[in-house]
Amino acid sequence: MEIKVPEVGESIYEAQVSTWHKKDGERVEKGDLLCELETDKISLELNADASGTLQIAVGEGETVKVGAVIGTIADEEEGEGEDEKGAAPAKDEKEAAQKEDKNAAAEEAEEKGSAQQKKKAAKNKEKPESESAGKAVPAAESPSKEPEKKERVPEKKQKESAEDQEKKPAPRGSAEQDGRVTRTPMSPIRKRIAERLLAARQQTAMLTTFNEADMSRVMALRKKHQESFQQRHGVKLGLMSFFVKACVEALKSFPEVNASIDGDDILTYHDYHIGIAIGAEKGLVVPVLRSADEMHFAEIEQAIADFAEKVENNKITLADLEGGTFTITNGGVYGSVLSTPIINPPQSAVLGMHAIQDRPVVRDGEIVIRPIMNLALSYDHRLIDGRQAVSFLKRIKDLVEEPEEMLLEL
């Protein structure tokens, strides 16, 4: 049975064999995890469709086209048939051995004859050399002095060459050769991320506007209702569901932010598919909450938890990543206080959340300490004006600071 790279999606044409979980020649059972493949969008696992012996044709790190054979699984019957077919009868083995002995004897006789001929030729050569031994050889024809002259020049040049080599700088690859630098090829996912981020910077007029939100009310709500929320819905009430709800309401008020540019046209979306950036070991992925406007808080939290589990176990699918109209990324989980997130093309805006810090702020003429989060909205200035971007982010701030305006199901 052939092991082929499966078709994952229309836009995926090749995959890299990242890891083999079984060894070449190892016995595998149906359903066993064979290897992991990595495309420019997702990672996927291949399991054995049959039991047998694994034969690996493509090693780790190699990139192949979709549909290519990367290995085979031979069942026991096939293996036995090959052994029977390949085994030579005892009679044939005996004849082959005899033939080999004859060939060896012929080669030995030929070597002896050749040795005798060489000995005879050596004797004939000694005779004229002995006759000319007593004759004088002119100085100009003497071979003893010329080699001395020729030997001195290379020695001098060799010395000069060695000195020059010491003066020359070390080659650029020397750091790699002595182990100070390690070179590894980029994975397909990392290549794709690099291409998209570079395209976002080069093909959009990207700007970022900032604001800050007082998280006191949200944190108080979470603390007060966390236990009952979790008992009823089986999932914790996090911060992300508040921001998803706030973004949906803001997008309804500013539809140009929920749009993209297609040539000379503007595509305004009437669905609210919110991408949630999730960091993984192999790179950032952005699964999409489809029709987030129709989702309740518990549904949002459960969907995000499911996405995170899929990403961790390399189970995320291409369908999970497609169709987003707006993206939220939370650098605060890594400790980021302020950043400028990059747009996820063809979308026109992305919201960046950051770490919550206690800061002194003025409330009713008094300085008080409040948990503050910096917010950042990066947007494509070709489509969204500064006034709209600032107003959009201000709307999110207001909704988060007064979350009772949003429907919270407990």
pLDDT in tens, 224-258: 999 999 999 999 999 999 999 999 999 999 999 99
pLDDT, tens digit, 9 for 90 and up, residues 295-313? 999 999 999 999 999 988 8
Q: Which residues of 311-344 are buried (b: 16+ CB within 10 A; e: fewer)?
A: beebebeeebbeebbbbbbbbbeeebeebebbbb
Residue 194 has a pLDDT of 87
Which is more confident, 187 or 70? 70
Select from 172, 215, 134 the least CA-distant residue to 399. 215
Looking at residue 290, its pLDDT comes to: 97
Asked whether the predicted pLDDT for residue 221 surpasses 60, the reply is: yes
Q: What is the pLDDT of residue 184?
A: 83
CATH hierarchy code of domain 2-78? 2.40.50.100
For CATH 2.40.50.100, list the domain ranges present in the chain: 2-78
Q: How confident is the model at residue 44 (pLDDT cuts 50, 70, 90)?
A: confident
pLDDT band at 133 (very low <50, low <70, confident <90, very high): very low
Active site residue 306: no
Q: Give the phi and the psi of residue 211 in degrees, each rounded to 5.
A: -155, 180
Higher pLDDT, 123 or 217: 217
> What is the CATH code for 207-405?
3.30.559.10
Pair 234, 353: CB distance under 8 Å: no
Span 123-140, mean pLDDT?
45
**Confidence tier at 109 by pLDDT (50, 70, 90):** low
Count CB neighbours of 381 within 10 A.
Answer: 13
> Residue 159: its pLDDT value, please?
53
Angle at 248 between CA 243 and CA 250, to 5 degrees: 90
Task: Give me the pLDDT at residue 79, please.
Answer: 47
Encoded tokens for 10: 């229309």
Helix (H) or strand (E) holding 376: strand 366-380
Alpha-carbon torsion 191, 194, 197, 203, what sign? negative
pLDDT at 146 over 50: no
Indicate the pTM of the whole model: 0.67
pLDDT at 137: 40
Residue of higher predicted confidence among 134 and 231: 231
385 is catalytic: yes
Query: How does pLDDT run across 162-206, given as a tens digit for each residue?
Result: 555 555 555 555 677 777 898 888 888 888 888 888 888 888 999
Would you tell me how many other CB atoms lie within 10 Å of the CB of residue 211? 14
Q: Which of 49, 75, 101, 385 is catalytic?
A: 385
Question: CATH 3.30.559.10 region(s) of the chain?
Answer: 207-405
